[in-house]
Amino acid sequence: MTARESQIAGYAVTLEVVVPFDVAQHAADHLDASWHLESWTPEAAAFVAIQKALRAAGFHHEVHVRTREVSAHDPH
């Protein structure tokens, strides 16, 4: 193993997942019901859904999730 390889802590991989609005809205409704609140936005619910999926796959503290709104015409 080279000196450089022994200093590598890991690799950052950028992954973009688009959660359809209706799926995010359904997730927000579910979170509202389970938390007994009515303050979950679809954007926040999409964040939680993806975070849960990544944790279920074994990624816990390593995952940093960011959300942004995309339009139907946004190719990215």
> In a structure prediction context, what are the per-residue pLDDT tens digits for the chain, which is 76 residues long?
566 667 888 887 777 888 889 989 999 999 888 877 778 889 889 888 888 888 898 887 767 777 888 887 766 5
What pLDDT is stored for residue 15 in this prediction?
Answer: 79
What pLDDT is stored for residue 2 in this prediction?
Answer: 65
Q: Token match 């936005």: residue?
A: 41
What pLDDT is stored for residue 3 in this prediction?
Answer: 63
What pLDDT is stored for residue 25 in this prediction?
Answer: 92
Q: From CA 26, how far away is CA 66, in angstroms rounded?
A: 20
Listed by start position, the domains of the chain span: 11-76
